[in-house]
Structure 1
Amino acid sequence: MRMEYDVIIVGARVAGSALAYELAGAGYEVLLLDRGTFPSDTLSTHNIYGNTVAMLKEMGVLDSLLATGTPVYRRAHMNFEGAVLDGRFPGTEEESGCLCVRRVYFDDVLFKHAKSQRGVTVLEGFRVTDLLRDGDVDTVTGVAGRYRSGDAGSFTAKLVVGADGRLSSIRKLAGSECLERVPTDFASYVAYASGFAQEGERHVEFYKKDDKWAIAFPTSDGQFVIGAMFPLNDEQWLGRFKENPEAGMRDLYEEGFSHTTLPARVRGAEFVGPVRGLLGYDNDFYRGMGKGWAVVGDALSFKDPTIGQGMHDALFGARTLAATLSEHKPDEWNDNWGPMGEWYQSAMEKKLMSRFRMGCQLTKNVPTPPETVAAYRLIGADEAATQTFFGTYNYKNEPDDIGPEIGRLLAAAASASGKVSTT
């Protein structure tokens, strides 16, 4: 096994494997390493929308993902404080198709695809403990760590990339600056369930009522990802979930969403495996590149999981970072960390910041203004407006497109009211 590479990628799940694939296509020698082994699972809601599915198709892994038997769906149902939006995601059949492949399958498919690329060396079971540096210029030059055997090891490269998640050790060791941070007000729990019934075609479900959220995504093995969120400062619910997570989740559906069919359908479902929780997290955005290092995926930016954009951001970030590096030959990178870092940061913020802002809003436990609920009711009553709203999830529309739709509906309502009053 060689000891020197163009790029070392720490973390071999979605962001890391996608980046290895992209860099291999550009002709780089890559070491892709992970402290774990594959296949293996990880905590995630793991839903992706049509724009992300398109990237996977271009990478050549979509057929393998579909071979898991995970259903494609195109419909969404949202109940936001009693205002109901129900419809299909906009775009063609291909653009509107969504997938929620279990991570134990998804990550393994991407890892094997990256591993098969010429120029990619993979190493499982290697835990990075430190970064190597050029002492004169403080440039990162490699990684040091330990194999599963406990033996120490090190590798050098012109660039080390942290693709190791929202608590990235590479980001911390490199000293990446946190540009924005908004702590969540919520605890989140997710589980897999079989026998969860839905009316009509398969679809995703979102619910918000007062200070609680619930989700349901159709996933692999005929199951659904179901999730619940409640305030971190609610000691009663925290205690109930800690004592018996499954009973806590079922009770939360019963008590928090009795105005919907959700509790009855969860009653008829069987939980598969443990209920897992995330007790607090930060919505954050970090500096993406420095001398000899970069971060991608959740290591660059993490936001509220109700937005459902983490997988997209990982794949887009991998493409963007690979394109950034390709602007210069590896031997020229040392002279261009500043310009490359600025370009990468700008491209990522331009693409991701609007959804990051949405996540920062949704992550705070504040009462929903009546006018916001009224706007949701207006949108839900109009097919075009509903599609525009759902289009913000698959990037067919931008969040700023929703305001004009509401304006159109208010103008139409005012016009109709004026006509009625004059007759």
Structure 2
Amino acid sequence: MRKSTGVKTIRKKDTLYEADKVNRFNIKLQRGILVAIVVQAILNMGLSYALDVALYVGIALAISNFMYYIKINPYIQSFVIGSGGALAGLILMINLGASYRWFFTLYISLAMVALNFNKTLILAYTVVMTSVMVSLFAIDPLAVLPSGETSEFISFMFLFNVTVFVTYFLVKWGNDYVTSAREKEQEAQQLVARLDGILSSTNKSVEVLDSGITELTNNMSSITDVSISISAATQEIAAGVMSKAAGIQKLYATVKSNSQNLNEVSDASTRIASKANSSLKTAQENQESVRSSLEQMGTIKQVIDDVDTKMTALNQKIESIKEIFEGLIAVSKQTEMLSLNASIEAARSGEHGKGFAVVATEIRQLADISKANVDQASLLINDMTNVKEETLNGVREGKKAADKGLDLIDRLSDKVDEALESFVHVKQLTETEARTIQSLTESFTLT
């Protein structure tokens, strides 16, 4: 069963992305527009008219600020805040009379709503503003347009809806690109989480490997001591055999004249047999130590092989992450193309395309942010790749050392087995000779 990585799944729907950030930006933009409108009113119409404009626009701005600080449905909140400019234009139309510049506030608010990259908000804004403007024109045409002519109103509304149509598809494409980018980011986070698990497992394996190598070092020291003991025991046995041979020669030279010497030879033979038994026991213990070391080396080699397998899997995961980042780079380039297309549309639309210019600027900023994140993530992956290569090289060196140690202990085990066989053979010969000497001693004693 796959464990959760803590990364939320991004569902493909008409979602609001960073609504709070967009709302704060729209409120700041509305404040700037308020200042610009008041300054224009002072220059063109005088201070008294400018104060009236500031009052009515300030009401719309206060409503937007109020909606930002209360907890309501985020779609409603974003819609009301984004429509603040249009609300100010409607209030000015009703209280100060028709003006073409009030009509321009519809386009400003359209651009603000479009910054949410949400098709539902665009459609809602279109329906609400079209209904309000048609109703207001039906009640008082002169409050909407200075001429009050129906044909001119239809032209303005047609141009407004064409602008909405183009904006709708720009928002749709932008939403699709943002969703795709977030899905790629989610996949990258999941792979990084899996990579963290693999690295954690690798670290544990390396710790086990270090412990095994330390134990191997201790066992090698023990093996060295055992080899020294075996050599010393062999020398003692050889010395004992030589001493016994000398005793036997002396026995044959003096057997007829001195039976007491034969008894001494018998005692010496018994001591040699006892020493041979002790040496055989020591050799058997050394054989068990060598076999234990051989098993431990086999375990260490298995651990190193497991680490090597995991490091290979880690390398494949890193390559997969690189492919995902290449996809993110492609999305970033497509987003830049979207920004360029929006800028071209804004240039073609002239005065009415200023809303597109705002959208194009936001899209370019998103593209720059995405590119910066991808560049930073790429640096991280490069660092991880370097660490992986160093770790993999270390594991390979450890594997070579383990293979060499395993071969060394295997050969030592063969030597110990050969020495054990020699000790058994010596013990058998010693026991046979001891029985022969004992028989001779008894014969001479009887004689």
Q: Which has the larger radius of gyration?
A: 2
TM-score, L = length of structure 1: 0.22
